[in-house]
Amino acid sequence: MRTIDDLDVSGKRVFVRADLNVPLDGDRITDDGRIRAALPTIEKLRERGARVIVAAHLGRPKGAPEPRYSLRPVAARLGELLGADVAFAADTAGESARATSAALADGQVALLENVRFEPGETSKDDAERGELADRFAQLADLYVGDAFGAVHRRHASVFDLPGKLPHAVGGLVLTEVEVLRKLTDAPERPYAVVLGGSKVSDKLGVIDNLLGAADRLLIGGGMVFTFLKAKGYEVGSSLLEADQLDTVRGYLERAEREGVEIVLPVDVVAAEKFAADAPHAPVDVEAIPADRMGLDIGPRSQELFAAKLADTRTVFWNGPMGVFEMEPYAGGTRALAQSLIDSGAFTVVGGGDSAAAVRALGFDEAAFGHISTGGGASLEYLEGKDLPGIDALA
């Protein structure tokens, strides 16, 4: 793949597909990690005299403008971080976008409105996506793909547009792929994978693939209750995907056959209801009350997970151990993150809620080997799937 260094960008309009899908509380950005991750590529292009046109999505609008998903607050924060004004186009690929692009001088930056305000962005119809990609192509001379969090999507600005302009891979995507290759090609062992989050069904492909690659799988979060139920435990009112029980039983049997250790919690923090102020207490997994739900791994499980990570050389983590947004149920995720740091292993935090938890719980990001910007993309890469946005940059 060509990199930015292979392109002559001076005086050229460069369309940069970035991942600026940040969480918002109204118009306040609550975690600007993805914006900061996009800065090196944008700054490098600016320094080389490019006229930078940044495109990104936010949330899941239905192919039409929705004020709550506007990127205007992101433009303001991007300007603050760059220390320079960022022009904002009021549309995605229309009159405002064309005028904003044409007005840029060397080294200046503009941000287009949310690409998902256009129905063609996410369309399954090749012609509809292609028409939008043609309009995007009119805005620029070159294309740089740097939105790792979207490379698993066959979208117009990610997959179709690179075929219409001279293109290169951005620094963020290049780094992400290099890191993930360390997990798939020849990871240092022992290699452990920690999976959490709410649903087993979100992780089926990656579990299936990792059973042949990892030495240990540590399971936490809401998804663990389907594993516990599959082993015969009662799980009270905890989150349960009953339709996945047979699949999970198959994974447990296969792991035993192939010598892959699956580590499950031995206790959980069980609460009367899904609320921070609900009565709650640690209970053994063999004794979860019928009227309580597990919302975090318990203190003995925290110690068990730390012991299972202590001798590892490589760890991939995707998904929190509990409802870390509520302080009574943040202990498991906090303890896991500290265990990763203490292990001395090469640690990869797989984006999404895991990366958000690292920042929300006050950890130094530099203490981890790599914090990915793409949870879904990371998982699909580890599943062995082709990523359309990577293929388009080849």
- Give the model confidence (pLDDT) of 93-152 as tens digits: 999 999 999 999 999 999 999 999 999 999 999 999 999 999 999 999 999 999 999 999
Half-sphere exposure for 8 (CA within 13 Å, toward CB): 1
Active-site residue (options: 34, 116, 216, 308): 34
Where is 309: in which H helix or E strand?
Answer: helix 299-309
The one catalytic residue among 98, 199, 249, 254:
199
pLDDT category at 348 given cuts 50, 70, 90 is very high
Of 229 and 373, which is predicted with more confidence?
229
CA distances from 228 to 270, 289, 292, 297, 315 (A): 14, 14, 15, 12, 23
Report the candidate in 30, 23, 33 with the shortest Cα–Cα distance to residue 355.
33
What pLDDT band is residue 204 in, cutting at 50, 70 and 90? confident
What distance separates the 2 farthest-apart alpha carbons in the chain?
67
How many CB atoms are located within 10 Å of the residue 56 CB? 28
Is 273 an active-site residue? no
Q: Is 84 exposed, middle or buried (0-12, 13-18, 19+ CB in 10 A)?
A: middle
What pLDDT, on the 0 to 100 scale, is given for residue 376? 85
Angstrom distance (rounded) from CA 196 to CA 340: 14
Chain centroid, CA 31 distance in Å: 13
Is the per-residue pLDDT at 352 higher than 90?
no
Q: Which residues is 53 bridged to in the sheet?
A: 15, 110
pLDDT tens readout for residues 27-49: 999 989 899 999 999 999 999 99
Q: Residue 212 pLDDT more than 90?
A: no
* Predicted structure pTM score: 0.88
**pLDDT band of 202, cuts 50, 70, 90:** confident
CA–CA separation, 251 and 257 (whole Å): 10
Angle between helices 171-184 and 33-47 (to 10 degrees): 120
Could you confirm whether 236 is annotated as catalytic?
A: no
- In a 3-state reduction of DSSP, which class is residue 174? helix
Annotated catalytic residue 352: yes
Told to judge if 205 belongs to the known catalytic residues of this protein, a careful annotator would answer no
**Amino acid 332: pLDDT:** 98
Active-site annotation holder among 352, 374, 375, 389 = 352
